[in-house]
Amino acid sequence: MLPFKLIYHEGYDLNLGAHVFPSQKYRLIRDRLLADGIAGPEDFLAPEPAADEDVLRVHSREYVHKLKTGSLSPAEILQLEVPYSAKLIEACWLAAGGSILAGRRALQDGWAANIGGGFHHAYPDHGEGFCVIHDVAIAIRRLQFDGAIERAMVVDTDVHQGNGTAAIFGGDETVFTLSIHQVHNYPHSKPPSTIDIDLPDGIGDADYLAILEKHLHRAFHDFAPDVLFYVAGADPYREDQLGGLALTIDGLARRDALVFDYARRNGVPVAITLAGGYARHVTDTISIHVGTILAARDAARIPSTFAP
């Protein structure tokens, strides 16, 4: 039994068919967690889809209408880089509901993980890079609306810069955004995060971890969040098809442990979302995402200053 809840829904599959984004990974992560005895059925919670009013706290009314009515232009669908379908929209609304629920459970229990989510390339008025709506931003805005939090931090370790996150929260002093990413990679346009860590191609475990630790120290020195949303990309992996960094599976697990250690020592509850991952062998992507859950489990078992 895990010391926190996992948020999962069978509807998380984006129904992409033959696509570089392995949308079946959500089910495979759930299955691996159960098969390996890491989690039991009692550790999972199923989310409700996000309410449209919550999606509208981040996204424009025109864009939401297009998504819900299937009236995106061909150019807008092309920019998404995933095929449009009603099932896709259902999955994205579920993922946003999952991140809201993960945020609430993190505030209650100290930790929670949404097996989906992390769609950090979505902007208020359009989607791109496999990301339709920005589940993490929606969750933060809902928690702020409820008065559950005032300040949030987003730590994004996907290999691609969180451009949607940066655009949504730019100039907002209540949300601190940190993105550590390969600089010579998607997206071409990178709006400024609070901290952007632009990494050269081919960086490995030791250098990556040293750089990340230095900037985590700075982030937690400069900002005291009420909750941390951790966007845990599997794509800095050395065998990733869309990445150009050289981290090992062990290095990625140490990355997760480092982020969780800073949150734990600062008494900040953590809501995890599992973001990109496009390894040549999907089993590697699953292992990396499961490793994030294991790192959270180990951190959650260490006494901290967090008190719900």
268, 227 contact by CB (below 8 A)? yes
The two counts, helices (H) then strands (E), for the chain are 10, 8
pLDDT band at residue 115 under the 50/70/90 scheme: very high
Higher pLDDT, 241 or 23: 241
pLDDT band at residue 14 under the 50/70/90 scheme: confident
**pTM for the predicted model, two decimal places:** 0.96
Instruction: With both helix axes pointing from N to C terminus, report the angle between 86-109 and 135-146 in degrees, rounded to the nearest 10.
Output: 50
- Given a cut of 70, whether residue 305 has pLDDT beyond it is no
Instruction: With both helix axes pointing from N to C terminus, report the angle between 61-69 and 86-109 in degrees, rounded to the nearest 10.
Output: 120
What average pLDDT does range 214-240 have in this prediction?
A: 98
Angle, CA of 96, 155 and 4, to the nearest 5°: 60
CATH numeric code, 5-300: 3.40.800.20
pLDDT in tens, 161-192: 999 999 999 999 999 999 999 999 999 999 99
Report CA torsion sign: 98, 40, 293, 300. Answer: positive
pLDDT of residue 1: 83
d(CA 65, CA 142): 20
Rounded-to-10 torsion of CA 237, 240, 243, 249: 0
As a whole number, the mean pLDDT across the chain is 96
| Structure token digits, residue 141 | 């805005």
Among the options 9, 121, 160, 289, which is catalytic?
Answer: 121
pLDDT of residue 18: 83
- Given a cut of 60, whether residue 110 has pLDDT beyond it is yes
Active site includes 121?
Answer: yes
pLDDT band at residue 306 under the 50/70/90 scheme: low
What average pLDDT does range 224-229 have in this prediction?
A: 98
- Given a cut of 80, whether residue 308 has pLDDT beyond it is no
12, 115 contact by CB (below 8 A)? yes
- Given a cut of 90, whether residue 71 has pLDDT beyond it is yes
pLDDT of residue 17: 79
pLDDT in tens, 192-215: 999 999 999 999 999 999 999 999
pLDDT of residue 304: 65
Domain ranges of the chain: 5-300
